Amino acid sequence: MTSRKLIFLADDDLDDCVLFQDALMEVSSETVLTTANDGIELIQLLESMPVPNPDVIFLDLNMPKRNGFECLQQIKNNSSWRNIPVVIFSTTGQEEMINKVYETGANYFIRKPGSFPKLKQAIEEVLAIDWKTHSWSPSSISLI
């Protein structure tokens, strides 16, 4: 990675956040990670964020206060944020749920990996995507 990327992660599981941060730092030292513990905190971060927007948001679905679906809808319905790529990062593997996130506007779906090397691989995969040309569909699901 040559250009510095601003990454947001919204996840209420502190252990998952720490693991994600460790994996991200091993994949690319050219990133800045900002975490939110729930959906309300994520939206507050976006509202208080000076330009530019984050390069990508990793969003867990099951969070207290405001869940991932609600955040995704709010992001995609906001003209200032709708072009931010949103990667759903969740433990669910249910096809119905995955289809719903794509219908709601998610750009990519990753099922949370069960190992650190697979987490690194998933993050590396997302950071390599050219969001200007990437087309989103259920076929772009990573179940690493």
| pTM of the predicted model as reported, rounded to 2 decimal places | 0.88
Tokens of 77: 């319905």
Per-residue pLDDT, 136: 55
**What is the chain's pLDDT, residue by residue, as a tens digit (144 residues)?**
346 889 999 999 999 999 999 999 999 888 999 999 999 999 999 998 776 789 999 999 988 888 889 999 999 999 999 999 999 988 887 888 889 999 999 999 998 888 999 999 999 999 998 888 766 554 444 444
Residue pair 93/114 in contact by the 8 Å Cβ criterion: no
For the chain, domains (ranges, CATH) are 5-142 (3.40.50.2300)
**CB neighbours (10 Å) of residue 135?**
7
